[in-house]
Amino acid sequence: MNSREAIAYLKGLLEGAPLTDEGEKRLFDAIFCAIDSLSLELQELKQRVDEGEKVYSDVLDSCLRLEDEMSDLHDEVDLLKGGEEAEGVEEDYEEFYASLTCPACGHSFYYQPDEYEEGEQLQCPSCGGFFDLPRS
């Protein structure tokens, strides 16, 4: 018997009981009303938990699938590193970015110093102005 059924059973007993005092009857009615409200809230919370468990399960499945795919990619990269380098596969995956501020507008942004040659100018992504690379 669930809580809703138990509350209905107790209400039936109360209605059938020969209570002569009206105050007692109102008190029991108020108690059962409060218990009934708690039971409804509990039922709603259980439904939310069930929905949360479903979402959690879906996210977990996605994470496990992603982990498998990442493992496969790492295996492929390891195979490529063992033999000849494939076209477009870099040995070092880390790229260095440096931060600087545009002298014209003061906008701060990042750039890759290795991508620019000596004497080449940078263009600010904010104002479009050109300026010389900072000296290393």
Domain of residue 104 covers 98-132
The answer to whether residues 56 and 10 belong to one domain is yes
Predicted confidence band of residue 14 (pLDDT cuts 50, 70, 90): confident
pLDDT digits (tens, 9 = 90+) for 21-33: 888 888 888 888 8
In the predicted structure, residue 83 carries a pLDDT above the cut 70: no
Predicted confidence band of residue 107 (pLDDT cuts 50, 70, 90): very high
pLDDT of residue 136: 62
DSSP characters over 18-33: ----HHHHHHHHHHHH
In the predicted structure, residue 88 carries a pLDDT above the cut 70: no
DSSP characters over 9-67: HHHHHHHHS----HHHHHHHHHHHHHHHHHHHHHHHHHHHHHHHHHHHHHHHHHHHHHH
The answer to whether residues 25 and 76 belong to one domain is yes
The answer to whether residues 29 and 73 belong to one domain is yes
Within-domain flag for 88: no
Higher pLDDT, 82 or 125: 125
Q: Is 122 left (phi over 0), alpha (psi -120 to 50) or beta?
A: beta
pLDDT above 90 as % of the chain? 42
pLDDT of residue 87: 52
The answer to whether residues 66 and 120 belong to one domain is no
Taking all residues of the chain, what is their mean pLDDT, rounded to a whole number?
Answer: 86
In the predicted structure, residue 54 carries a pLDDT above the cut 60: yes
